[in-house]
């Protein structure tokens, strides 16, 4: 079962809470601020929201270092505010999922503080400690010299994020400190995570985006262990919260969906397709596995649509009928999709993103084409991610309508570029990117063939060749989507049954001509079209 019905036409909006809207003038976005903007979010046509972590934290990794999983951080408001957000979103037909940082805590978490103590206690094995300050294990990273107890503690990401202990599959006999997955202390951690999920689900939350979902179990058979772990949670969801969902940060839908997730992202790490299509090489996060070729969505026209089309088909082969892949416009960990692109070029990119199978995610601000802000000093462990986390641009005033605070007290500086895009201006313009995004989302949600389950069939997808053309099909309904991001005219011919019935519903000057047995599509530079049949 791919999951609850509402996923069939789902489109998500990702909100980085500290940068969305500040309701109380302290310069940091907050939950009442998000509630105040729910009508705007709903006007986009999305039916779900993903909120980045909003829990108690020392903010050494922007809240991905949690010190209390069941308490909203004071800077964002209170648990009552979050409950109110669930309620108000539901009233508008939108779901809300939270970020579940399942793999680690902050070093400030009381569990970790207890775990550091020399005297054995309930939390000693909540984290993964070696048995001596001199020991370690290859391939893992540890905090050394930190605790009173003798041993080093394994970390998941930054030094301040000790890994929770979901066990080893199978432990190395030479390292007796590695506990098996069925060890009672390890099972206790699993139950703690379930309790956290239950706490929020009972309050009205609709599921979770699970941070670093593939990293929880270790050892030579980690993959099988991770699968077992998430299957366990998923069957608990199916039984007790059948309308709630689990979305993974895994980057391999074929594996993630078969491990029990409803949705998994294609993002910057893992498979090459997403990067090859959407990420200009000069803006790619360092160490991306995809080094060959350029972004397909680039005027220079040297990209590869084939690797992407093949990847989507392969992923669909493993996930169809069980769960969904997601192609996001971006997220808080990568550069902005706007980088190096004009607004018109973004329309071309979004024509593709919002007509792909699976469940699209729109990162806040991408609907107006917010740009990456270069050369910012790292904030809360953001490093090169910081520039994609700047305050939302609501209007063209000096504070961009983000907050009443003085801009020098903003969580992050605004994009300083003159003419930065704003919601207020784009609201007034029928042809704005904002209204174009609304149109695409509406089209998708009104037409099941264009939504999560419609079949995906490439009609023309080649290396270094433009355009990229594909069909979305469900029952008798078909759509042809064509994008030509290159700076040159793109011409192609392909077979298209019932082509005489094709009607352009989005078109930036393309020409579809009937030929005996085929159609000929001529696309001007940086153009896009959607035909319904």
Is 25 strand, coil or helix?
coil
Return the range that interacts with Ca ion (CB under 5 A); candidates 19-27, 157-165, 200-208, 284-292: 19-27
- Distance from C-alpha of 106 to C-alpha of 181, rounded to nearest angstrom: 23
In the chain the first and final C-alpha atoms are separated, in Å, by: 29
Pick what 333 binds: Ca ion, ligand GLC, none; C-beta below 5 to 8 Å, kind-dependent.
ligand GLC
Does residue 266 contact residue 274 with C-beta atoms inside 8 Å?
Answer: yes
Return the range that interacts with Ca ion (CB under 5 A); candidates 20-28, 147-155, 307-315, 425-433: 20-28
Q: Does 114 bind ligand GLC (CB under 6 A)?
A: no
Q: Does 249 bind ligand GLC (CB under 6 A)?
A: yes
* 512 sits in which H/E element: strand 511-515
> Which residue's C-beta sits nearest to ligand GLC?
64
For residue 170, cis peptide bond before it (omega within 30 degrees of 0): yes
By CB under 5 A, how many residues form the interface with Ca ion?
5
**Measured from the CB atom, is 243 or 333 closer to ligand GLC?**
333
The nearest distance, CB 248 to ligand GLC, in angstroms, is 11
Please work out, in degrees rounded to the nearest 5, the angle formed at the alpha carbon of residue 346 by the alpha carbons of 345 and 347.
Answer: 90
- Strand partners of residue 491: 522
**Measured from the CB atom, is 249 or 311 closer to ligand GLC?**
249
By CB under 6 A, how many residues form the interface with ligand GLC?
9
Pick what 345 binds: Ca ion, ligand GLC, none; C-beta below 5 to 8 Å, kind-dependent.
none
Residues 30-89 that bind Ca ion (CB under 5 A): 30
Q: Does 264 bind ligand GLC (CB under 6 A)?
A: no
DSSP track, 104-135:
B--TTSHHHHHHTSSS--TTTTTB-B-SSTT-
Q: Does 366 bind ligand GLC (CB under 6 A)?
A: no
Pick what 469 binds: Ca ion, ligand GLC, none; C-beta below 5 to 8 Å, kind-dependent.
none
Residues 291-330 that bind Ca ion (CB under 5 A): none
- Distance from C-alpha of 148 to C-alpha of 146, rounded to nearest angstrom: 7
Q: Does 14 bind ligand GLC (CB under 6 A)?
A: no
**Measured from the CB atom, is 153 or 449 closer to ligand GLC?**
153
Is 218 strand, coil or helix?
strand
Q: Does 333 bind ligand GLC (CB under 6 A)?
A: yes
Q: Does 56 bind ligand GLC (CB under 6 A)?
A: no
Pick what 22 binds: Ca ion, ligand GLC, none; C-beta below 5 to 8 Å, kind-dependent.
Ca ion
- Distance from C-alpha of 301 to C-alpha of 119, rounded to nearest angstrom: 63
The nearest distance, CB 212 to ligand GLC, in angstroms, is 5
Helical axes 222-240 vs 184-203, angle rounded to 10°: 40
Q: Does 211 bind ligand GLC (CB under 6 A)?
A: yes
User: Which residues are CB-contacts of 178 (< 8 A; sequence separation ≥ 6)?
Assistant: 128, 137, 168, 171, 172, 218, 219
* 374 sits in which H/E element: none
Q: Does 98 bind Ca ion (CB under 5 A)?
A: no
Q: Does 24 bind Ca ion (CB under 5 A)?
A: yes
The nearest distance, CB 19 to ligand GLC, in angstroms, is 13
Helical axes 343-353 vs 433-446, angle rounded to 10°: 10
**Measured from the CB atom, is 211 or 298 closer to ligand GLC?**
211
The nearest distance, CB 90 to ligand GLC, in angstroms, is 26
Is 58 strand, coil or helix?
coil
Residues in the chain, how many? 533
Using CB under 6 A, list all residues that contact ligand GLC.
61, 64, 101, 157, 211-212, 249, 332-333
Using CB under 5 A, list all residues that contact Ca ion.
22, 24, 26, 28, 30
């Amino acid at each position: 079962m791919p999951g609850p019905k509402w996923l069939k036409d789902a489109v998500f909006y990702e909100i980085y809470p500290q940068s969305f809207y500040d309701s109380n003038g302290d310069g940091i976005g907050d939950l009442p601020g998000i509630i105040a903007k729910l009508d705007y979010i709903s006007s986009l046509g999305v039916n779900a929201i993903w909120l980045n972590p909003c829990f108690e934290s020392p903010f050494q990794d922007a809240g991905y270092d949690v010190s209390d999983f069941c308490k909203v951080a004071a800077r964002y408001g209170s648990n009552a505010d979050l409950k109110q957000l669930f309620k108000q979103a539901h009233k508008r037909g939108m779901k809300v999922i939270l970020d579940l940082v399942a793999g680690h805590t902050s070093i400030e978490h009381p569990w970790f503080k207890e775990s550091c103590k020399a005297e054995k206690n309930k939390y000693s094995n909540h984290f993964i400690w070696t048995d001596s300050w001199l020991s370690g294990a290859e391939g893992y990273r540890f905090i050394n010299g930190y605790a009173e107890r003798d041993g080093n503690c394994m970390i998941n990401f930054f030094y301040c994020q000790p890994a929770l202990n979901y066990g080893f599959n199978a432990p190395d006999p030479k390292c007796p400190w590695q506990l098996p997955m069925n060890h009672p202390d390890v099972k206790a951690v699993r139950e703690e995570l379930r309790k956290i999920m239950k706490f929020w689900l009972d309050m009205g939350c609709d599921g979770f985006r699970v941070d670093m979902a593939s990293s929880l179990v270790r050892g030579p058979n980690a993959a099988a262990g991770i699968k077992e772990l998430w299957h366990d949670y998923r069957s608990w969801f199916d039984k007790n919260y059948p309308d709630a969902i689990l979305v993974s940060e895994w980057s391999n839908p074929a594996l993630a969906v078969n491990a029990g997730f409803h949705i998994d992202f294609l993002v910057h790490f893992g498979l090459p397709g997403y990067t090859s299509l959407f990420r200009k090489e000069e803006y790619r996060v360092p160490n991306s596995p995809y080094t060959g070729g350029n972004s397909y969505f680039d005027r220079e026209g040297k990209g590869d649509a084939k690797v992407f089309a093949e990847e989507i088909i392969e992923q669909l082969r493993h996930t169809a009928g069980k769960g969904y892949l997601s192609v996001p416009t971006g997220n808080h960990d990568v550069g902005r999709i706007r980088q190096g692109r004009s607004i018109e070029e973004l329309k071309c990119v979004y024509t593709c993103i919002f007509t792909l199978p699976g469940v699209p995610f729109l990162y806040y601000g991408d609907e107006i084409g917010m740009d990456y802000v270069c050369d910012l000093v790292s904030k809360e462990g953001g490093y090169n991610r910081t520039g994609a986390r700047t305050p939302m641009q609501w209007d063209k005033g000096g504070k961009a309508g983000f907050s009443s605070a003085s801009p020098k007290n903003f969580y992050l500086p605004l994009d300083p570029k003159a003419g930065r895009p704003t919601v207020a201006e784009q609201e007034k313009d029928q042809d704005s990117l904002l209204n174009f995004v609304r149109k695409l989302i509406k089209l998708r949600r009104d037409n099941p063939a264009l939504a999560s389950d419609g079949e995906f069939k490439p009609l023309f997808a080649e290396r270094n060749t433009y355009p990229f053309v594909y069909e979305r099909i469900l029952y008798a309904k078909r759509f042809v989507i064509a994008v030509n991001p290159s700076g040159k005219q793109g011409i192609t011919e392909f077979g298209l049954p019932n082509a005489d019935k094709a009607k352009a519903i989005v078109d930036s000057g393309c020409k579809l001509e009937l030929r005996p047995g085929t159609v000929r599509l001529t696309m001007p530079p940086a153009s896009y079209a959607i035909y319904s049949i």
